[in-house]
Structure 1
Amino acid sequence: MKLKTHPYTLNLAHSFGISRERYDTQDTLIASLTHEGVTGYGEATSNPYYGITLQSLQREIEAVKTLVEAAPADDPEGLHLLLSRQQISNFARCALDMAAWDLYGKLQKTPLYALWGTSIDRYPVTNYTIGLDSAGVMVAKMLEKPWPVYKIKLGTDQDVALVAELRQHTDAVFRVDANCAWGASETIANAVALKELGVEFIEQPLPADDWQGMEKVAHRCVLPVMADESCIVEADVERCALHFHGINIKLTKCGGLTPALRMIEKAKSLGMKVMVGCMTESSVGISAIAQLLPQLDFVDMDGALLLREDIASGVRIEAGGRVLFPELGGTGVTLLP
């Protein structure tokens, strides 16, 4: 196999805010693996919260280039096992693992969801995320993008009022994500009002390591609570089962499709709801997430919808959430010129 990296800075259509940061662009690294004229693509975005930069991703992937290029093209799980023994981040592993699966599926001329024995006859609709901002800006963003399900970023002392204002303009399903900004008592109190406002669940209300607080929330919250920052890798799933009703898996954080498949299986065996989320990826990363759709209860794969301009073609999401899968195998991705 031949390995290459392709750095990009993605421009967002709107400034995007969460409780701890705000940004207008997103750096991302595309890894490509080519074998016998066929190319697979994977992606990992930079992330200051986890200390990941475009430069660190490039250094890590360059460090394992010889190892990757010597690996067989028909064994993505074997490659991931090999990479798990190397001193690189899960973000770098994700880009390589995703590319290996895309290449494998393209060589088989079969989409990954079919290779995994699943059907796209039914799948959850992705939410569309409304970044944290003033009420007026958040309403305007929502009205600009009519959608059946919204995820609303929160993290202020006026969060319930923000959701109440948004509710006046739509009857869509709401999900809220506090990105670790609340405390246990605040979560329990907010949930009562949010349930009345048609919120489906709360994502990661407490800091990732506040397990004592989450145990309190899990027993007293009137809404289901999903883990995000508390559920990074496979080993976190079992612990989260005691404190959350479900998990939100991020491919970049766990290390790619290979561990995500195992996390889905483990969570379901523990009776948990399963969601896969994005990190503002282009259609490269989003098309990989889409292959998991038949196995999920919820999905947040709106990353490419938030961009001013995409860098790839692949899975396409139409208004209302219908997903169009390309004819190509694998994840179906092609980089645009």
Structure 2
Amino acid sequence: MPRTLRAQHDRFALSRPFRISRGVKTAADVVTVTLEQDGMRGLGEGVPYPRYGESIDSAMAEIDAVRDAMEAGASREELQSLMEPGAARNAVDCAMWDLEARLSGRSVAELIGNPEPQRLASALTVVIDSPAAMGAAARAIADAPLIKVKVDTNSPDEQIGAVRAAAPNARLIVDPNESWDEGLVRALQPLLVALRVDLLEQPVPSEKDEWLEGFTPDVPICADESAHVAGDIDQLARRYQVVNVKLDKTGGLTAALSLAQAARSCGLGLMTGCMVSSSLSIAPALHIARMSDFVDLDGPVWLREDRPDGVRDEGGYMLPPVQGFWGTL
């Protein structure tokens, strides 16, 4: 039977504003792809990100451009050259993995050759606010094993200090989302050590990170916006100690696995991240998360209502979706 492809825009309202250095998000706008063949259906989700020039309209147009090839039976390997890395390819690639699992009667984990996803520690996020408000937010999740702290250039020392005081035992990731400069990164090194920060994520703009070559930080620095695909690894290894793999940047699980393996082969640490999304984005990312040193997949935690049977957070530990949700039979 022929394969059919459908794509649609879905919106998930957030339960509270998600504020980072770039702005505030109140809803997650995603593209959902459905592939059907032989009575089986595979699903995938992508989150277009304006930082990379993406929008719902542009993603839908990218998917429409490959519709004929996909419906004619193009493979996942062929997809990598048919589409550029990004949210649109992520949605199609993940739908292909899901469909392949259902058609073959083998889970995605079996297809990869890895164990099935299990419960794992995943960061809960404290978004930008006043130091007092951020401390209060951290206090509510103080027992979580890992907390991500969003900051900008407005009193980051006080904000991080307030979170650490409220959550003395949690591991901390500090994420300025490219808002700092070289001077601030250097100046805050002693503070990051004193506050026992485990990871500093993409502190400076990706186009201004060349000075990191030769810089030895006191706290490991993770590439996020600077890291997209496996071809970036040689440069990343000269500038960073950890790489954040996000399927919406790599353009799907296929390329994410390649990036993760390339990072490991260079001796880099590994982090798995996500956009603010539904559980349909998170289920494929769990296959990278099981390989990672740091996991930050709390996107669905911010939704007022997630897709049914998706992932669940229990005090900073993520439980995989119910059997049959994505990539399982």
Fold conserved between structures, TM > 0.5:
yes
Deviation of residue 57 (structure 1)?
A: 1.2
- Aligned partners of 2:119 and 2:317 also within 8 Å: no
Match of 1:154 in 2: 151
Aligned to 1:17: 19
Q: Residue 180 of structure 2: which of 176, 182, 193 is its match?
A: 182
CA-to-aligned-CA distance 1:98-152 (integer Å, 9 cap, x gap): 1101111223333322332222587751111111122233233334445221111
SS in 2 for 1:209: helix
Kindly tell me: are residues 168 and 25 of structure 1, through their superposed partners in 2, closer, same or farther at Cα, counting changes over 3 Å?
Answer: same
In the alignment, what sits opposite 2:211? 213
Aligned to 2:61: 59
Task: Tell me, yes or no, if structure 1 residue 239 matches structure 2 residue 241.
Answer: no
- 1:316 counterpart = 2:291: no
Cα shift at 1:329: 7.6
Q: 1:330 to 1:20 in 2, by over 3 A?
A: closer
Are the counterparts in 2 of residues 33 and 99 from structure 1 also a CA contact under 8 Å?
Answer: yes
Q: Residue 198 and residue 109 in structure 1: after superposition, are their counterparts in 2 closer, same or farther (change >3 A)?
A: farther
Q: Is the 8 A contact 1:28 1:43 kept in 2?
A: yes
Residue identity in the other structure for 1:139: G
Corresponding residue to 2:269 among 266, 273, 288: 273
Tell me which residue corresponds to 2:106. 110
Q: Distance in 2 between matches of 1:293 and 1:165?
A: 28
Structure 2 residue matching 1:42: 3-state secondary structure: strand
Once the two structures are superposed, residues 43-89 of structure 1 have per-residue CA deviations (whole angstroms, 9 ceiling, x without a partner) of: 111222112111111121112111111116xxxxx33x323333656
In the TM superposition, residue 155 of structure 1 has moved relative to its aligned partner by 1.0
Where do 1:39-78 residues align within 5 Å? 39-71=41-73, 78=75
User: Is residue 123–residue 296 contact of structure 1 (8 Å, CA) maintained in 2?
Assistant: no
Does residue 36 of the first structure (1) align with residue 34 of the second (2)?
Answer: no
Conserved? CA contact 1:111–1:328, under 8 Å = no
Partner of residue 75, structure 1? none
Q: CA deviation at 1:298?
A: 1.5
The equivalences for 1:162-181 within 5 A come to 162-171=159-168, 172-181=170-179
The one-letter code matched in structure 1 to 2:200 is I
Aligned counterparts of 1:8 and 1:131: Cα–Cα separation in 2: 24
> Would you say 1:260 and 2:256 are equivalent positions?
yes
Aligned 8 A contact 2:174 2:200 in 1? yes
| CA distance in structure 2 between the aligned counterparts of 1:113 and 1:46, rounded to whole angstroms | 26
- Identify which of 296, 300, 312 aligns with 1:300: 296
Over 3 Å counting, the alpha-carbon distance change for 1:98 and 1:250 in structure 2 is same
> Is the contact between residue 109 and residue 328 of structure 1 (CA under 8 Å) also seen in structure 2?
no
Which structure 1 residue ranges, 5 or more long, are not aligned? 73-77
Question: Against the structure 1 CA distance between its residues 114 and 85, is the aligned structure 2 distance closer, same or farther, given a 3 Å change threshold?
Answer: closer
How far apart are the structure 1 equivalents of 2:248 and 2:112?
A: 20
TM-score (norm 2): 0.92
Which range is displaced more, 270-279 or 40-49?
A: 40-49
Residues 223, 243 of structure 2: 8 Å contact kept: yes
Report sequence identity in percent.
31
Q: CA RMSD in A?
A: 2.1
Structure 2: any 5+ residue segments left out of the alignment? none
Judging changes above 3 Å, is the alpha-carbon distance between structure 1 residues 89 and 232 closer, same or farther for their aligned structure 2 residues?
Answer: closer
* 2:118 pairs with 1:130: no
Question: Which runs of 4 or more aligned residues in structure 1 lie more than 6 Å from their structure 2 counterparts after TM superposition?
Answer: none
Write the distance in 2 (CA, Å) between the matches of 1:329 and 1:13.
23
Secondary structure in structure 1 of the residue aligned to 2:207 = coil
Find the aligned partners of 1:331 and 1:196 in 2 and give their Cα distance.
43
For 1:252 and 1:273, how far apart are their aligned partners in 2?
A: 20
1:117 maps to amino acid? G
Question: Greater CA deviation, 22-31 or 113-122?
Answer: 113-122
In the TM superposition, 1:137-148 aligns within 5 A as 137-146=133-142, 147-148=144-145
Look up the equivalent residue of 1:51 and give its one-letter code. G
Out of 214, 220, 224, the position equivalent to 1:228 is 224
Matched residue, 1:327:
323
Note the C-alpha offset of 1:30. 0.6
Letter in 2 for 1:34: E
In structure 1, distance between residues paired with 2:268 and 2:119: 17
